[in-house]
């Protein structure tokens, strides 16, 4: 009896002694998903991006690899002051190591500078301005999923090649819209087209009638929609109501997400040409990921911004695991640039010195209703833009990190 009692006591002592060892072996990682949860970009990022981040942690098997990952989230309301206030509190008081997603380029650009100053990590998936890897690049920011140069170049060049050589832009009047128009207009003019004019609208506009009438009266062959989210949805919907496309003009969605097409329906969007970096039905890997995502998120297929959160999170965790440190943000980003990227969403790729994540982009056309075989069967692939051609050439962005290399 004494022997059994002694053995039990010894085993308990060993168990208690070993517990802190397991705990201390864990590297604490705190990630903030910052985006629009309640406004015009909520559907393309929002709660779905949080689901994507959680899936990445689970698929990476972070706990088994010694990483204790905590995810927090907040709504930046598409306001730079709100976004930077949240980020500052996360960095200074809450121990957040990395912020991911952040649609709305004005918020993203402000957050990129703050992240540099705090030496943390910022992985942008939802925001579009190509300035994030251009003149505003920093050693602490990676631009993951798409940018205004990539979408503008893909759709702009395709439309001009199809005969759409005169353009009129309807543009969201903030950093993202300006960058998207600038980058697309450059492509249009480079490929032999001409820009006839522009109309700028406030963020979250409900009535596009005056802007569409200006575009209609310009007689431009293509009306370029340099906006996103609900603004793009409202633009396309009202253009259909006014019969603009029936008059021969074409709409070019310069940043269209799958949720936009799904919301509008194929009767309204059929024939729309667009550029994305991800589509759920590209291959076996994207289909498997997307079906798991949909099972967890109200049956919805992921947008490219949500897929980018998953992909960016996977690569970040690989770098943290390699460095065994989360405190030196620039060091983590440097490691992310050194390591090749590889995941089931974007496949193989890399991160350039300017912070631009490199992978193929895809030119799609929205299907006609009779071509679709299901609720989310929305696109047909027109062309694959190779990774080396999909994004702005490294020496043309003006990023100081390139000259320092």
Domain extent listing, the chain: 28-146+282-359, 149-276+361-390
d(CA 317, CA 62): 8
At residue 310, the 3 state secondary structure works out as: helix
How many whole angstroms separate alpha carbon 9 and alpha carbon 200? 76
Assess contact for 255 and 305: CB atoms under 8 A: no
Is 38's pLDDT higher than 50? yes
**Helix H or strand E segment including 223:** strand 222-226
Residue 154 burial (CB count, 10 A): 28
Cβ partners under 8 Å of residue 360, min gap 6: 277, 347, 384, 385, 386, 387, 390
The dotted CATH code for 149-276+361-390 is 3.40.50.2300
291 or 23, which is more confident: 291
Q: Which residues pair with 226 in a beta bridge?
A: 171
* pLDDT at site 17: 42
Banded model confidence at residue 60, pLDDT cuts 50, 70, 90: very high
> Please, which residues have CB within 8 angstroms of residue 274's CB and are 6 or more apart in sequence?
151, 155, 253, 254, 256, 363, 364, 365, 366
**What pLDDT, on a 0 to 100 scale, did the predictor assign at position 23?**
39
**384 pLDDT higher than 80:** yes
Q: Which of 25-34, 35-44, 128-137 has the lowest mean pLDDT?
A: 25-34
Residue burial 92-123, b: 16+ Cβ < 10 Å; e: rest: eeeebbbbbbbbbbbbbbbbbebbbebbbbbb
Residue 390 pLDDT exceeds 80: yes
How confident is residue 13, by pLDDT bands cut at 50, 70 and 90?
very low
Is 396:183 a contact under the CB 8 Å cutoff?
Answer: no
Residue 383 C-alpha from the chain's centroid: 21
How large is the average pLDDT for residues 178-203?
97
Range 17-22 average pLDDT: 40
pLDDT in the model for residue 4: 54
Span 28-146+282-359 CATH architecture: 3-Layer(aba) Sandwich (3.40)
Residue 289 contacts residue 31 (beta carbons within 8 Å): no
- Tell me the per-residue pLDDT of 91-104, one tens digit each, with 9 for 90 and over: 999 999 999 999 99
Question: What's residue 10's pLDDT?
Answer: 46
Q: What is the pLDDT of residue 335?
A: 98
Per-residue H/E/C for 188-203: HHHCCCEEEEEEEECC
CA-based torsion, 106, 293, 266, 151: positive or negative? positive
Please report the pLDDT score of residue 21 as a whole number: 38
pLDDT of residue 325: 87
State the average pLDDT over residues 252-274. Answer: 94
Return the pLDDT at 7.
44
Domains 28-146+282-359 and 149-276+361-390 belong to one CATH topology = yes
Cα(69)–Cα(83) distance, integer angstroms:
22
Give, to the nearest 10 degrees, the angle between helix 304-323 and helix 329-338: 100
- Average pLDDT on 15-25 reads 43
Split at pLDDT 50, 70, 90, the class of 405 is low
* Stretch among 10-24, 154-168, 302-316, 323-337 having the lowest mean pLDDT: 10-24
Is it the case that residue 83 has pLDDT exceeding 50? yes
**For residue 15, pLDDT beyond 80:** no
The whole-chain average pLDDT of the chain stands at 93
> Residue 194 pairs with which residues in a beta bridge?
166
- The pLDDT, as a whole number, for residue 18 is 42
- What local confidence, expressed as pLDDT, does residue 201 receive? 97
Q: What pLDDT was estimated at residue 69?
A: 97
- 391 by DSSP, 3-state: which? coil
Residue with tokens 């059929």: 270
Quote the pLDDT of residue 1. Answer: 43
Structure confidence at residue 25 as a pLDDT band (50, 70, 90): low
* pTM, rounded to two decimals: 0.91
pLDDT of residue 245: 83
130 pLDDT more than 80: yes
Q: Tell me the pLDDT tens digit for each residue of 151-188.
A: 999 999 999 999 999 999 999 999 999 999 999 999 99
Apex CA 35: angle with CA 31 and CA 36, to 5°? 155
Find, among 106, 126, 235, the residue nearest to 170 by Cα: 235
What token pair was written down for 278? Answer: 């991800």
């Amino acid at each position: 009896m004494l022997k059994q009692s002694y053995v039990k006591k010894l085993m308990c002592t060993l168990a208690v002694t070993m517990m802190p060892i397991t705990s201390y072996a864990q590297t604490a990682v705190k990630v903030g998903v910052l985006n629009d949860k309640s406004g015009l970009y909520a559907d393309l990022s929002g709660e779905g991006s949080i689901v994507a981040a959680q899936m990445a942690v689970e698929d990476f098997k972070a706990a088994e690899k010694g990483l204790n990952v905590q995810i927090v989230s907040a709504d930046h309301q598409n306001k730079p002051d709100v976004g930077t206030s949240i980020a500052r509190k996360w960095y200074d008081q809450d121990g957040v190591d990395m912020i991911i997603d952040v649609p709305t380029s004005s918020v993203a650009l402000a957050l990129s500078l703050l992240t540099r100053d705090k030496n943390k990590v910022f992985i942008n998936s939802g925001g579009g301005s190509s300035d994030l890897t251009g003149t505003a690049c920093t050693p602490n920011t990676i631009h993951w999923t798409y940018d205004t140069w990539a979408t503008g170049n893909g759709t702009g060049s395709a439309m001009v090649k199809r005969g759409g050589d005169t353009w009129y832009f309807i543009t969201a009047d903030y950093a993202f819209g300006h960058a998207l128009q600038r980058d697309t207009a450059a492509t249009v003019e480079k490929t032999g087209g001409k820009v006839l004019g522009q109309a700028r609208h406030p963020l979250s506009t409900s009535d596009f009638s005056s802007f569409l009438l200006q575009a209609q009266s310009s007689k431009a062959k293509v009306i370029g929609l340099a906006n996103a989210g609900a603004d793009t949805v409202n633009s396309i919907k009202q253009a259909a109501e006014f019969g603009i496309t029936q008059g021969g003009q074409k709409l070019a969605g310069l940043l269209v997400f799958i949720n936009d097409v799904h919301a509008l329906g194929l009767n309204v969007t059929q024939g729309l040409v667009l550029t994305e970096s991800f589509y759920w039905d590209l291959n076996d890997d994207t289909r498997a990921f997307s079906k798991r995502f949909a099972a967890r998120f109200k049956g919805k297929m992921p947008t490219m911004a949500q897929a980018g959160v998953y992909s960016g999170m996977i690569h970040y965790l690989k770098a943290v695991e390699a460095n065994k440190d989360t405190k030196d943000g620039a060091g983590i980003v440097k490691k992310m640039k050194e390591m090749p990227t590889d995941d089931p969403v974007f496949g193989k790729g890399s991160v350039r010195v300017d912070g631009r994540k490199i992978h193929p982009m895809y030119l799609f056309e929205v299907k006609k209703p009779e071509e679709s075989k299901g609720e989310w069967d929305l696109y047909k692939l027109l062309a694959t833009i190779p990774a080396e051609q999909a994004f702005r050439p490294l020496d043309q962005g003006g990023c100081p990190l390139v000259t320092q290399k």
